[in-house]
Structure 1
Amino acid sequence: MIEFIKKQWKQILIILLVYTAWSLAVFLFLIRLQGLETTLKQFGTGSKLYINFIHTIIKGTVIYYITIYHLAIPLITTRKWKKIGLQTILFFGVLTVYEYVWNFNIQDPGPKDPSYVSPSTFLITAGLLDIVIILIAFFFATIITSNDMRKRKEELEKEKLKAELSAIKYQINPHFLFNSLSFIYTKTLKTSPEAAHAVHLLSEIMNYALDDWDELGTVPLALEIDHMKKVIEMNQIRFNHILKVKYYENIETDDAYVSYVPTLAFVSLVENAFKHGELNDEKNQVTIELEVTKSKIYFLVSNKKKKGPKEPSKGIGLSNIRQRLDLMYGIKHSFTIKEDENYYLNEITINL
């Protein structure tokens, strides 16, 4: 519970402050509208007044926190109407029962004044108030979600700019490089078709890496998969087709296949496996798995670690992939890295 409050304290504090200010304003408005005596008759006097007020503040804060952050925002981001609709009905059903018990059995367990609200009137009023709460929560959830999306877009643009600057820093006249590769391809096509094909693959991979994609630095999933396969093929040619690689692909729908993903996200993970993995162990092959459905993209790369001296790595690639996935998909994705003394695994799940 303490850890939960630590993580969510900002959202809870904001709702608490806003709801406290709103409750005070309503209380003062009622005093002005109907007088102090009538208002105190409704809310109680002495310690009862303080208990009721504190109870109202805490209850309202909890209700709006759950409705905004655990019902409305997940519904807007995931569009799971059935699941979240049932959760909403259950939550407000429990809330109505609690309100009924509090008002009729805890607050005033004895005989009721004739002017006191009846149970049927209470239930109708509670239902209408629940609808109002849901509408207010959705209003704020929409604002919060739009603001988060705007911030993510800004961050993605910043990350794209950093990537472009990094590419500029390390590239040596791309036109000269591609013209040179084209010349080598032409010269080797007749004498060594496989070498020519390798040069062609390398040219396409580098062109893909340096190309100017959309403003968010994303590409269609189909394009990323295509170049990932080229990286696999390029490495097999490089090592005379002796690499032990197990590739599994299951794509159920064309709709998800055209979903957008961060450029080089899958390609970089595959390249890391070839760079740091043991590539000649038949029993511990480099494993690459891709599953695509209407609702999910699942990608896994695992490998046995190479023994001996390791190639230098700054770890920038994984951090960059994590940041871009987080900015692009937020809570709709997970990026898991599992590692021990002998094995390494990357796992990406994206909920569409």
Structure 2
Amino acid sequence: MIEIIKNWINKYRLHLLVWVIFILYESFSIGLVFHVFGNPITYIVHYIIIIVLFYLHAHVALPWILKNKKHIFWRLPTVLFSEIGAFLLLSFYADQLLILKHILPNPQPLTLNYEYNLRTLFRELYIIGYATGYYYLITYTIEKRKTNELEKQRLNDIIYRQKSEQELTKAQNAFLKAQINPHFLFNTLDFVYHSIVELSPPAADAIITLAEMMRYAIDSDKMGEFIPLSDEIDQVENLVYLNQIRKNHKLLFELQYQEEVRRFYLIPLVLLTMVENIFKHGNLTEKNHGAIVKIYNQDGMLFIETDNLINNQIRPAGNHKGISNTEQRLKYAYGEDIVFSYKATESNHFIVRLGIPADLLMPPVSPLKALPGIDK
């Protein structure tokens, strides 16, 4: 309870200070002018009435009067007359009670005569005037605060928009660089190819293969949502060819696939990621432990299986992050109907197995061909 009172005093300390100053000023001014100082209880009772009237007028009456400007002409006089009448009656009966309790001296009977009403009315009107001024002051303060908040929000929006424009400009510049750099690279590779094709045909073939793979990787985001599996198989063969050249054709790697699987459509960079994982983490030089990739269609499912010896001289990086990301992409594209597993065996082999329902891998249908009446 004490804490609640402290919080209330702290919240309204300015109001309390102003009322204390006002009450002291008014009481001492009247007392010095008329040489009359009343009982403190008299002051307390009348100032309670005044304070209640003040806040009722400022927080209840005026907002109701001004809520609908069409009705001001009748609401304003109605409220004023009601407030004046209520203040006169409350002041009169308060004085009657104080006289009855012998707190307020008054040798003659108290009546609602002209003099009493005029004195009370004067006090009522200037309290209403103060309350009206207070109402417009707090209204102005609230509106000013709202304006400041809106201005602050507007400035924040401008700053955010400028930052967004800067980020967009950076992204556009990066995109342009990404457009320029590959062209420069491909032109350079083309120049190197023509320079060495007569001197070293195998090296020239390697350059052309590398350029084809890089173009495929760069254009992967433009291929569409699904691509023919035959394209990825071709790129896997290119990848195998380049790695064999690097290792003087000593890598033990075998790619097996049924010709019919080339017609399936798959999300990009699935097979390629699985094969890259073999070259990155596998040991392809041990006899009887060569890496193998199998792609086949069985029981209405497309299966891709890889098996390779783990290279223990290479510290695992990313905890098979590439394989995990591929799994997430596959589940997003095909749902939970896929089969995807990977594990390390006791013989130190790493095996990955992917199965996707074949009916999910059909060629995408052209919107025009899908319309009734259009020849397929």
Q: TM-score, normalised by structure 1?
A: 0.48
TM-score normalised by the chain length of structure 2:
0.45
Structure of greater relative contact order (alpha carbons < 8 Å, 6+ residues apart): 1
